[in-house]
Amino acid sequence: MSFIVAIDGPAGTGKGTITSLISKELGLVNIDTGATYRCVALNAIRNNIKLEEQEKIIASLENIEIDMKNEGGEQKVFLNGEDVSKQIRSKEVSQIVSQVSSIKEVRYKMVEVQRKLAQGKDVIMEGRDITTVVFPKANVKIYMDADERVRAQRRYKEMQEKGIQMTYEEVLKNIQARDKNDKEKEIGALKIAEDAIYLDTTGLSIEEVKDRILNIIGQNYTKKS
């Protein structure tokens, strides 16, 4: 039986940073499910498929293979064998990924991919519908949230560090648009699962969030050596 920590929440709550830190500390496999949708979006861009051409995006799923590996303590994302960890974070991908992830066929396929990536492993998995759709019976279920301006500020800083040119206003708009789209999705919409623990990270440092989540997990999990 595998042990599953499921974390959902909107963009910029620190889910990615936190799951990466906790996965290292507890020896859990880290699965960033947003990366799977980003791979589909990147593949569409590379093949000149427009957002409106949904049937082409759906057809492209047949030719997409996604894998994740931990290399030197870092999570790498592979699209058809190519390491695309950097490319999937581009501005172009960020702008279309939420809409791509709204296509129901894309969601069915990605949920399948995500469950397969977790099969037989002890994992920490983050996204938008992990606690509600992918693993509703996960051992630990957490919903992370934060004020949208704080989230935009965090994302903006992250973009700057990665050398991606975007203004704070652009990042904020992008976050607002994604929140709206993520919450209004027909399938897999972002929502708080009834039995999830709600964690507001607005005034908290990464260390504080990490400690709180470790505490929550600690009640269910014995540290691995």
Choose the stretch contacting ligand DC; rule: CB under 6 A; options: 19-27, 57-65, 122-130, 210-218: 122-130
Contact between 178 and ligand DC by CB under 6 A: the answer reads yes
Stretch 73-102: interaction string toward ligand DC, x if CB under 6 A: ------------------------xx--x-
Shortest separation between residue 31's beta carbon and ligand DC, angstroms: 10
Shortest separation between residue 101's beta carbon and ligand DC, angstroms: 4
Contact between 201 and ligand DC by CB under 6 A: the answer reads no
Which residue's structure tokens are 């977790």?
118
Residues facing residue 125 across a β-bridge:
6, 31
For the purposes of burial, counting CB atoms within 10 Å of the CB of 139, is it exposed (0-12), middle (13-18) or buried (19 or more)?
A: middle
Shortest separation between residue 42's beta carbon and ligand DC, angstroms: 11
For residue 42, give both structure tokens.
């990147």
Choose the stretch contacting ligand DC; rule: CB under 6 A; options: 53-61, 126-134, 194-202, 215-223: 126-134
| All residues at 6 or more sequence positions from 21 whose CB lies less than 8 Å from its CB, including other chains | 206, 210
Per-residue burial over 24-40, b = 16 or more CB atoms within 10 Å of its CB, e = otherwise: eebebbbbbbbbbbbbb
Give the count of residues interacting with ligand DC (CB under 6 A). Answer: 15
Q: Long-range pairs for 152-157 at CB < 8 Å and ≥24 separation?
A: 152/12, 154/12, 154/14, 155/11, 155/12
Cα 147 to Cα 202: distance, rounded to the nearest angstrom: 6
Contact between 9 and ligand DC by CB under 6 A: the answer reads no
Choose the stretch contacting ligand DC; rule: CB under 6 A; options: 19-27, 55-63, 128-136, 146-154: 128-136
Which one of 21, 188, 201, 217 is in contact with ligand DC (CB under 6 A)?
Answer: 188
Contact between 151 and ligand DC by CB under 6 A: the answer reads no
Shortest separation between residue 191's beta carbon and ligand DC, angstroms: 12
Choose the stretch contacting ligand DC; rule: CB under 6 A; options: 43-51, 65-73, 127-135, 162-170: 127-135
Contact between 129 and ligand DC by CB under 6 A: the answer reads yes
| All residues at 6 or more sequence positions from 67 whose CB lies less than 8 Å from its CB, including other chains | 77, 78, 81, 117
Cα 201 to Cα 140: distance, rounded to the nearest angstrom: 18
Q: Return the closest-CA partner of residue 35 out of 80, 97, 120, 107.
A: 97
Contact between 43 and ligand DC by CB under 6 A: the answer reads no
The residues of the shown chain that bind ligand DC, judged by CB under 6 A, are 11, 33-34, 37-38, 97-98, 101, 127-130, 178, 182, 188
